Amino acid sequence: MRSDRVCAAVLLALAPLSGFAQPAPRGNPSELVAAESALAHLAHDKGANAALVFYADDGAEFVAAGRVPARAWLKSHDAAPWFADRQTGNVWASCDGTAGVSAGLWHDGWFATVWKQQKKFNYKWVLADAGPLATMPQAPDWVTGKLADCPARLPRAEGPVPSGPPPLRPLPAAIPPQMGGDSRDGRSDDGSLVWRTSILADGTHHLTVWAYMGGAMQAVITH
């Protein structure tokens, strides 16, 4: 990725919802641009495999390879093609900043990387997917960053606060049902960003990412 030509155009759409307080956004698409840039720079300096391992979450997986644990796959495969002509074009951050997705073009197709925020507020990638494109669009000149709308804050529950991590809140709006096969969903803590990977019986794989915008879960990536 050409870091000297990268800029993030952050779109903040915070439509007020009556009846509930609207939380302030904590997500920052620029941090995802920085994570992508750091990954690319480390791949250039230390090699693709070392970079992907260094920035991988413990449970990271490759979907394009058939949903395999990333660390195990990287021990026996060369990941250098993952960075061939790689150019990030878009990033989406959840309102609360706990997750984000970067996407763009590489080699002869598309790629997407899902990032999760860590305890020290840095990002590590948890999912990587890619596929071919019949027609390659023009390469992006810059990175466009978008921030999901903030779901309305839920009213505080009555009674004592339970121990342990808080339960995930419901999604702020509905998404379509899973399409069968090996289909798995992931999400940000606040539900403003959701991703689904599906591997069907014929071996094809699909990725969909939704961001909460305008009162609905809008599909921002569909492959």
- The pTM of the full predicted model, rounded to 2 decimals, is 0.85
| Residue 60's CATH number | 3.10.450.50
Residue 1's pLDDT is 46
Instruction: Look at residue 15 and tell me if it is in a domain.
Output: yes
Ordered per-residue pLDDT tens for the chain, 223 residues: 444 344 434 333 333 333 445 567 789 999 999 999 999 999 999 999 999 999 999 999 999 878 999 999 999 999 998 888 899 999 999 999 999 999 999 988 999 999 999 999 999 999 999 999 999 998 889 999 999 999 987 666 566 656 666 678 889 999 999 877 899 999 999 999 999 999 988 888 999 999 999 999 999 999 9
The count of domains in the chain is 1
Residue 133's pLDDT is 93
Instruction: Look at residue 163 and tell me if it is in a domain.
Output: no
Instruction: Look at residue 216 and tell me if it is in a domain.
Output: no
Residue 202's pLDDT is 86
- 59 pairs with which residues across the strands? none
Instruction: Look at residue 100 and tell me if it is in a domain.
Output: yes
Environment class of 2 (CB within 10 Å of its CB; exposed 0-12, middle 13-18, buried 19+): middle
Q: Which domain holds residue 11?
A: 3-151
CB 151 within 8 A of CB 212: yes
Instruction: Look at residue 177 and tell me if it is in a domain.
Output: no
Residue 169's pLDDT is 83
- Two tokens, residue 132: 């071919």
Structure-derived torsion over alpha carbons of residues 12, 18, 20, 22, reported in degrees to the nearest 10: 10
